[in-house]
Structure 1
Amino acid sequence: MTTGGREIEHGYPHLDTVRAAVHALFKRLSYDTVSTFGTSVLPVDVAFDETEDLHLGAQRVARAMVRQLHLPDARVVITFREMEHAANVELTAGPEYFIELNERFTKHRKDIGAALAHEVMHVYLHRLDLAFPGTRDNEILTDTAAAYLGAGWLLLDAYREHGPFSQKLGYLTPEEFGYVLAKRARFFGEDPAPWFTSPQAYDAYTAGAARARQDLRRPPLADAGWAARLRYAKDRRAAQDPRRADRPPAAGEGYAFEGPSPLRVSFPCPACHQRIRVPVRGRLQARCGLCKTLLDCDT
């Protein structure tokens, strides 16, 4: 948790890890299981005002997170104490859940749901045996999974900046949270925009959604922009010329030619980032074997 005017990082410094996390979710869970998370945790389920008992309310919100992530219904023990981080969870085989929250949440109850979304996701990933090496990447995986599976919009909504005061929960930047939520919105057809109470969170979601749309405009996808299409055509000609076959494609576009005969092109799925390989033969449709997304291509 960042407070008290400390500078909040913006942009997309962790984008490669975020994309790897989305891909890992689909690989580990499968399309069928991911599809069962089509409804996010709703604002009414995590609303928490000053009239509700602190511990009973926190347990109620935690149980909502447990249900959202399809975890077993079991006793939730939540304590508040002074600590450096926002929260901590005990990772055991279960079935109980033991979660510690920073005592500052006793005065910021609105954000308890966001902290619990991250910690309960730690439990989910632990029991799924899905982890990335290194603390930083594993925390990015946790934030990404929480956002993609319907609990993490609360983490973005906890982002606020008011003059000298600033606050952000989680390890992703606000725009990266927006990027993941936009990916989820497109995949499930669910728009989280009406749920944001923080104007800064809404702006970050809008920015992240714009960045996510760029993934849909990279060649060989049919909606690629004209400049990208020109670069792609130039790289395709080079791949078809044996004298220039070792020429690398345009940096950052993500596609790679394989051949020379028959020439094929591989590229990342814009939904789950699985590599897709198709023949180079003009306009065609390709379905991602991992997330089942149907893509219009112009190869």
Structure 2
Amino acid sequence: MSTKPATEEQIEPVIGLIGGSGLYDIEGLEDKEWRTVETPWGKPSDQLLFGRLDGVRCVFLPRHGRGHPLPPSRLNYRANIDALKRSGVTDIVSLSAVGSLKEELPPGHFVVIDQFIDRSFAREKSFFDTGCVAHVGMADPLCPRIGDVLEGQCRELGLDVTRGGTYLVMEGPQFSTRAESNLYRSWGCSVVGMTNMPEAKLAREAEICYATVAMVTDYDCWHDDHDSVTVDAVVKVMQENASRARALVRSVIPKLGAKRGPCYAGCDRALEHAIITAPDKRDPALLKKLEAVAGRVLKRG
């Protein structure tokens, strides 16, 4: 990632939450207001819920829309991340339902992810295109600073949590075949899900610190002693996980909302040396679309 900035300007964080609509019924959330946020990439999944928790500004986005009308492959990931960026969000906590690929990660377990394998193929994965090319580093795709807070608060709340693991992102909307599930296990993956890519890639391009809490709902279909995945079984555990997730969000937001300097991992400076298209070759129409996510570096020419 990028080098340490010359000045240690203090930031008042704005915390973004992406997840299911059940997460937004949080005790103590004040000044709540659903707002429509327009983006040059189209419509986000839903309106965004703005509010304050213990004085910390936060913005909630229902990933699939309220009532879950949108499947994983039809989410407008670019619009979602752009909407959060132009709403002032500096840190994103992504909560995602997943299947477990390891015996020691049973349903109800939380995993603070540190790696991804992206096997999705039907999604727009970058803000950058012909007329403005950029290559951001993704070796460490998640913000360890946020990960530290998530792990610490999970343990403080007594939640079953594992720090570190690889999230295999599949296209969906179908669940895995048994052969696929065993293949992912042979790769050493911890969990499988359908939503966190290209979400994490786009957050990095937008210079937003991003971390994932993967909430295990089932053992996928590899486990011989458990039934194959069914929607009923997944939904039941999701509902149980939702109350734990709300407690975690309620605990995490005040911690992440404290004033801080730039992210030590450099997530908020990911574009520092990423844009390689010469200024005189850049497409003005694309540059206009990039104003929110890349304005910090594009203004320098």
Which has more strand, going by share of residues?
2
Q: With structure 2 as the length reference, what TM-score do the two structures score?
A: 0.26
Tell me which structure has the larger Cα radius of gyration: 1
Which has more helix, going by share of residues?
1
Larger relative contact order (Cα-Cα within 8 Å, sequence gap ≥ 6): 2
Q: With structure 1 as the length reference, what TM-score do the two structures score?
A: 0.26
